[in-house]
Structures are given as structure tokens and as C-alpha cells.
């Protein structure tokens, strides 16, 4: 009976450690990246610049792990608090569309790069981490690709993507601030939605 109990306990511990490992932010980044790249490597359409197909892939595989509300707030800085609930929803929707597009478009440039995952320092109990990876490309310098994640009730969510030190999110800060200053929050919504419409009409 005692043997059975310790066996059971051992099993329980190993199961929970598997779960803990699955849940860690660096494991999540690696899992999603590899899933996406495996598909891109086999998909000639995406490699030949089919953005629509790349967007579908990103929507299914990547999007659930992103927190777009947080991203929009980060892009807007102090102006985020000037928006009411309805405006926040629209801003996040439009900004999501734009980011998904940009990110998907980058995937169509994929050739034979491989990703190196750097060890992530996880101070105990920290709910906010940066997972560092590197894009290794033959004949070129490695490109840093970092993800900022925060822990939420449903697991870790990405709220920033940083390529070669450039945040795809905060790089909009000055542009958004200027627009809000000139035309208010609704002006920014307008600007984002016009941009998305324009990109959509040129979609392959």
C-alpha cells in the first residue's frame, strides 16, 4: 500500500512537472515557433509571398498566445487611458489586424533560417519575462528576436515582440501620440482602420 502510494505520488509529481515545463514561457515560445516554422518550411505558397495563407496560419497558431489589449496600451502609452471601453476595444481590434499582417508578412520572407533559443532567467514567482531567441541565417549576422510575456490566468501571453532591439509595438508610440494629439482617440481609430483597409485591398 505504501509502495503504491509513493508510486502514485511520484507519478503525480512527474505529471505536474511536465505541466510546469509546458507552461514555462520559454517552452511556450519554442513550441509555437517550431510549430509555425514546420508548416512554413513545407508551404511553398507562404514562401512565395502568399500573405493570406500566412495570416491564416498566424491566426490559428500564434494569435491565441498574444495579448493585444496590452500591446495596444503599450503602443499608446499614456494616451491609452484617454480612451473609453468601446474605443479601447476598437483600437485593440484594429491594432491586432495590423500586427498580425506585419508578422505574417515577415513569415513569407522565411528561407533557411534556424532559431536558437537562449536560456531564460526566471526569478521565482516572476510574472513578467523576456524570452530571447536568435534567428541564425547563413551568411548573415544573427538577428535577435525577443518576446515579452506576462502571466495571466489562462497562461503566459506575449505583449511585445522585439526584432533587433526594435519593438514592433512601441515603435508606433510617437506616431500614435502625434495622431491622438492632433485628432483625438477617434482620429487614431480612423487612421488604423484606414491603414488596414488599404493593406487589405492590396492583399494577394
Partner 1 sequence: MALVAGLSGCATTANNPKDPFEGFNRVMFSVNEGIDVVVKPVAQGYDKVAPTPVKTGIGNFFGNIADIWIAVNSFLQGKPADGFSDIGRVLVNSTLGIVGLIDVASEMGLEKHAEDFGQTLGTWGVEGGPYLFWPVIGPRNVRDTFGFVVDVSADPVPHVDHVPTRNTLMGVRFIDLRASLLPADKVVEQAAFDKYNYIRDAYFQNRRSAIYDGNPPPLED
Interface contacts to partner 1, rule CB under 8 A: 77-78, 98, 101-102, 105-106, 108-109, 111-112, 132, 136, 138-142, 144, 146, 162, 164-168, 170-175, 178, 191, 195, 199
Give the nearest distance from C-beta 124 to partner 1 in angstroms.
Answer: 20
CA 60 to chain CA mean position, Å: 12
How is the beta sheet containing 128-136 ordered, strand by strand?
Answer: 114-117, 128-136, 143-152, 155-163, 166-167
Give the nearest distance from C-beta 35 to partner 1 in angstroms.
Answer: 21
String of DSSP letters for 163-186:
ETTEETTGGGHHHHHHHHHHHHHH
As a whole number of angstroms, the distance between CA 73 and CA 80 comes to 5
Answer yes or no: are the C-beta atoms of 134 and 116 closer than 8 Å.
yes
Give the nearest distance from C-beta 137 to partner 1 in angstroms.
Answer: 8
> 171: which DSSP letter?
G
**CA-closest candidate to residue 103, choices 171, 172, 57, 137:** 57
- For partner 1, give the closer residue by CB, 39 or 103: 103
As a whole number of angstroms, the distance between CA 58 and CA 32 comes to 10
- For partner 1, give the closer residue by CB, 147 or 172: 172
Give the nearest distance from C-beta 105 to partner 1 in angstroms.
Answer: 5
- For partner 1, give the closer residue by CB, 10 or 142: 142
Joined grid coordinates for residue 127:
510574472
- For partner 1, give the closer residue by CB, 18 or 164: 164
- For partner 1, give the closer residue by CB, 31 or 203: 203
Give the nearest distance from C-beta 167 to partner 1 in angstroms.
Answer: 6
Amino acid at each position: 500500500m505504501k509502495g503504491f502510494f509513493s508510486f502514485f505520488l511520484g507519478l503525480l509529481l512527474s505529471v505536474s512537472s511536465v505541466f510546469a515545463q509546458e507552461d514555462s514561457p520559454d517552452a511556450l515560445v519554442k513550441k509555437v515557433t517550431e510549430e509555425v516554422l514546420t508548416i512554413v518550411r513545407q508551404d511553398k505558397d507562404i514562401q512565395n509571398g502568399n500573405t493570406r495563407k500566412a495570416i491564416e496560419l498566424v491566426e490559428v497558431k500564434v494569435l491565441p498566445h498574444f495579448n493585444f489589449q496590452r500591446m495596444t496600451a503599450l503602443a499608446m502609452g499614456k494616451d491609452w487611458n484617454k480612451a473609453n471601453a468601446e474605443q479601447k476595444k476598437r483600437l485593440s481590434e484594429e491594432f491586432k489586424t495590423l500586427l498580425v499582417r506585419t508578422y505574417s508578412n515577415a513569415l513569407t520572407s522565411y528561407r533557411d533560417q534556424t532559431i536558437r533559443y537562449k536560456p531564460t532567467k526566471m526569478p521565482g514567482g516572476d510574472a513578467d519575462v523576456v524570452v530571447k531567441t536568435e534567428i541564425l541565417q547563413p551568411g548573415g549576422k544573427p538577428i535577435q528576436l525577443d518576446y515579452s510575456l506576462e502571466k495571466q490566468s489562462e497562461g503566459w501571453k506575449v505583449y511585445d515582440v522585439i526584432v533587433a532591439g526594435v519593438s514592433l509595438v512601441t515603435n508606433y508610440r510617437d506616431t500614435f501620440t502625434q495622431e491622438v494629439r492632433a485628432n483625438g482617440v477617434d482620429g487614431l481609430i480612423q487612421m488604423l482602420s484606414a491603414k488596414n483597409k488599404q493593406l487589405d485591398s492590396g492583399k494577394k
